[in-house]
Structure formats: C-alpha cells, structure tokens
Amino acid sequence: MVQWFEHNFDDRAHGTSYITAEGGYLWNHGGPFDAEEQLYDKFGDIVSESLIKQVVEEEEVESDGFD
C-alpha cells in the first residue's frame, strides 16, 4: 500500500507550486489528498480498515508531505 501511494502521489515540495503571495501551495494537480481516504478507496475491498489506519500511522505517509 505504501509503495502504491508513493507511486501515485508526489511530495508537494517536488510537484506543487509555492507562492508566498498567494498563501502557500497552489494545488495545480489536484489535492491535497487524505492518505487514509485514498488508500481506503483503492484497497478497502481487500484489506481491513484497521490495517489501512495502521499503515497511515506507522508508515507516516501523510506526514511525509505526500499530497
């Protein structure tokens, strides 16, 4: 799940425009996205919700700046 997430979502520092005058990041490619929601949409039919929550918390996919 982590590999899929990292393959499909970019670290905002690498793929998102940042303009201070506009208040920060400009989500020109969509987003920001909630990691848990995206993983549940993709894997919710095949793994438990608790496993998805565990991956989000333990692998820290949200805190790594991925959007």
> What's the pLDDT tens digit per position in 24-54?
766 666 666 788 999 999 999 999 999 999 9
C-alpha 57: how far from chain center: 12
Residue of 24, 20, 40 whose CA lies nearest to 32: 24
Amino acid, res. 38: Q
| Cβ atoms of residues 35 and 61 within 8 Å | yes
DSSP 8-state secondary structure symbol assigned to residue 55: H
pTM across the whole model:
0.65
Indicate the pLDDT class of residue 59, thresholds 50, 70 and 90.
Answer: confident
